[in-house]
């Protein structure tokens, strides 16, 4: 039995802790860099085409990023490490600006996106990268991405204990519906997780512009 003193200790603990995401510790955790490169005084976003030799998502367009390693103390370190490894950018030429919203994806992953300001424009991609390219921020801001909605339903195992739930085998499990967003630039198609993070960043850019206008 939990006594009054014990529950007060629980309350005190809960007040001190920072809330996270249920399932966060079990999920695969990755971090990505959203690099902003300054070209001719115009900001551009640096993206990469993944090598065709890779097992996962060969040829897809992505931000630099990857799984958080045991040696990475924070998601910022992961994003910075992956940015430098995959593009050849020197760490002192990539200033961390801010974290974006972390995202628990429908695929059991948590992604921590971070914005970096990059002062280097000479890139030497590693073997994971087929090509690096930049897209002017203004170009993306003027674009309305194509959006399609994908649904998925529960894949119920044969030994699932239907007798323990109301409705049994007739129980109506929820269907998951999530958007797939597509941006396009010079024949290159940006979609998937990368497009969703890009869309989130562009919305932050738009909100910041509205704040500036509202303050005038």
Record: fold of 23-215: Nucleoside Triphosphate Pyrophosphohydrolase (3.90.79)
Taking only the tens place, the pLDDT of each residue in 186-210 is 999 999 999 999 999 999 999 887 7
Percent of the chain whose predicted confidence (pLDDT) is above 90: 74
The pTM for the full model equals 0.87
Tokens 């955790």 locate to 29
- In whole angstroms, give the CA distance from residue 44 to residue 35: 8
Average per-residue pLDDT for the chain: 92
Closest Cα to residue 130, out of 54, 188, 189, 216? 54
> Would you say residue 132 has pLDDT above 70?
yes
Segment holding 185, helix H or strand E? strand 176-185
> Would you say residue 1 has pLDDT above 70?
no
């Amino acid at each position: 039995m939990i006594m009054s003193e014990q529950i007060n200790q629980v309350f005190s603990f809960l007040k001190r802790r920072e809330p996270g995401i249920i399932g966060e510790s079990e999920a695969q955790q990755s971090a990505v860099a959203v690099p902003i490169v300054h070209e001719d005084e115009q900001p551009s976003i640096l993206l990469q085409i993944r090598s065709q030799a890779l097992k996962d998502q060969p040829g897809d367009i992505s931000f630099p990023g990857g799984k958080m390693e045991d040696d990475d103390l924070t998601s910022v370190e992961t994003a910075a490490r992956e940015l430098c490894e995959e593009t050849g950018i020197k760490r002192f030429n990539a200033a961390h600006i801010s974290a974006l919203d972390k995202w628990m994806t429908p695929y059991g992953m948590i992604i921590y996106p971070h914005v970096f300001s990059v002062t280097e424009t000479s890139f030497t991609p590693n073997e994971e990268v087929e090509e690096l390219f930049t897209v002017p921020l203004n170009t993306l801001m003027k674009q309305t991405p194509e959006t399609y909605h994908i649904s998925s339903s529960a894949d119920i195992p044969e030994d699932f204990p239907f007798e323990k739930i109301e409705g049994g085998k007739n129980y109506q499990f929820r269907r998951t519906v999530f958007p797939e967003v597509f941006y396009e630039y010079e024949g290159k198609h940006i979609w998937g997780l990368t497009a969703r993070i890009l869309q989130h960043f562009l919305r932050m850019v738009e909100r910041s512009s509205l704040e500036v206008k509202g303050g005038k």
